[in-house]
Structure 1
Amino acid sequence: MLEISKLDGFYGNSRALQGIDLTVPTGTFLSVLGRNGVGKTTLMRAMLGLLDRTDGAIRLDGKDINRLPTHERARAGIGYVPQGRGILPRFTVYENLQLGGFARTSDRGKELEALVFDMFPILREFRNRAGGNLSGGQQQQLAIARALMTDPRIILLDEPAEGIQPNIVELIEEAILSLNRRFGITIVLVEQNIPFARRASTDFAILEKGRVVASGPIAGLTDDLVHRHMAV
């Protein structure tokens, strides 16, 4: 279980997150929603220890990880697919995948490699191609696969469908669903696609000005909430 309690997040002296309280039970799927610039990516970065400072608690299975460095949070079981994918363009597909192994504490490397090639066959075909020579959709598949190679208990995904061609968006969405429903990996997803959030999620949280303004089971994500907190 991931528990976030009274979390404040700072860039320098500027407080970007204010009193965030969220509970994400093991095996659930939380969609984090809101307009651009309300703190969704900042929340992802706070969970990974990538902000200048965070106050409050971030607990993973009861252990407060808020003072741990990023690499130890990854080894504790948190995988991350950042906005913009974050692959290494000069490394091959296979080399990018192998980077995930540095955060893995299990001996499931070969099993996970088979899994990602089964889930994303194009990565097997292009395993010796430089990551920078892949299309945007292929790079996103690689970013998700690299996170999976860490053998995570939780995967944080920051707008994984952004800028991706529609035919690949569906593949990526189905892969995320499979990670949650077939393999039991807890998902925390930053998303703008309300229909997908409603179809995939068990729970939601809406952010506004760095605060959680609405949250709960996905059935409570009403059209009124969407209009009030997400309409432009």
Structure 2
Amino acid sequence: MLELKNLEAYYGNSRALQGVNLTLETGKFLAVLGRNGVGKTTLFKAILGLMDRCGGEIALSGKRLDPLPTFKRAHAGLGYVPQGRGIIPTFTVRENLKLGTFARSGGDKHSYDDLVFEIFPVLGEFLDRQGGNLSGGQQQQLAIGRALLTNPKIILLDEPTEGIQPNIVEQIEEAIIKLNKAHGITIILVEQDIEFARRASDSFVIMEKGRVVAEGPVKNLTDNLMHKHMAV
């Protein structure tokens, strides 16, 4: 469903991704792991077309995305929840959610509108509250809800539990798992919580210095492997 071939990405003249190859089937859940600064967020930005320069190929459901601008990649089915959530604090919950609908493809008849409020009922309660007045956990729910309203085939989640109060973390984790297991949305997750990655994902990749250095089914994500590639 998603295929990356020899993907490279640059900040100016500095190469941040070096020949990344990756294949992810429809409906699967992939965890992208590694220390800080190894290229995980850069990988997402390259898939979305947000880098200065990229090389290689990106295909979603057999359609080449790498020649396309970001908004057309969204129309093709990419949803994104950035690190830090990226909501607009002066917009209401309703207005932030509406932004997600702008990324829908005109021919896409499917909609997750009802699902957003089923999974995150607090958003329905706070539709007229400004995003900046929500708690961190509520803002993260809003960011995921906005991504759902793009009607994505695949959602890229960049550290969705970072900075969230502990009593909300489990709720957000269970919502992400439900989107994948119950509703068939393909997920790529960047996450520092290894136990969540093990519990939620089908497969993993570990990155170092812009490269994939280990990958496989999640059952192969051993403590020894984590110590080798993620211990400080």
State the TM bucket, normalised to the shorter chain.
over 0.9
Match in the other structure for 1:116: 116
Q: CA deviation at 1:7?
A: 0.5
- What is the deviation of 1:63? 1.7
Q: Is 1:64–2:64 an aligned residue pair? A: yes
Amino acid at match of 1:13: N
Residue correspondence of structure 1 range 122-161 to structure 2 within 5 A: 122-161=122-161
Deviation at 1:203, TM superposition (A): 0.4
Unaligned runs of 5+ in 2: none
2:175 alignment counterpart: 175
Matches within 5 A, 1:187-202: 187-202=187-202
Q: Name 1:21's counterpart in structure 2.
A: 21
Return the letter of the residue paired with 2:169.
Answer: V
**For residue 49 of structure 1, what is the aligned residue in structure 2?**
49
> Residue by residue, what CA displacement relative to the aligned partner does 1:118-174 show, whole Å, maximum 9, x if unpaired?
111111111000111111110000000000001100000000000000111101100
- Quick one: distance in 2 between partners of 1:63 and 1:231? 38
Q: Partner of 1:92 in structure 2?
A: 92
Deviation at 1:108, TM superposition (A): 4.2
Task: Report the residue type matching 1:227 in the other structure.
Answer: H
For 2:88, give the aligned amino acid: L
| d(CA) in 2 for partners of 1:92, 1:108 | 25
Shift of 1:113: 2.3
Q: TM-score, normalised by structure 2?
A: 0.97
- The letter for the 2-side match of 1:160 is P
Q: Which residue of 2 aligns with 1:83?
A: 83
Matched residue type, 1:15: R
CA shift digits 1:96-121 (9 cap, x unpaired) = 11111111122445xx2221111111
Moved segments of 4+, more than 3 Å: none
Which piece of structure 1 moves more, 159-168 or 113-122? 113-122
Distance 1:25 1:107 in 2: 23
1:64 Cα shift?
1.5
Q: Distance in 2 between matches of 1:8 and 1:107?
A: 34
Tell me which residue corresponds to 1:12.
12
Say whether residues 1:162 and 2:162 are aligned partners.
yes
Cα separation, 1, equivalents of 2:28 and 2:210? 23
Tell me the distance in 1 between the aligned counterparts of 2:203 and 2:26.
Answer: 12
Give the secondary structure class of the aligned counterpart of 1:103. Answer: coil
Q: Distance in 1 between matches of 2:11 and 2:67?
A: 16
Tell me how far apart the structure 2 counterparts of residues 47 and 167 of structure 1 sit (CA, whole Å).
32
SS of the aligned residue for 2:102 comes to helix
RMSD over aligned CA atoms reads 0.8
In structure 2, what residue type is equivalent to 1:129? R
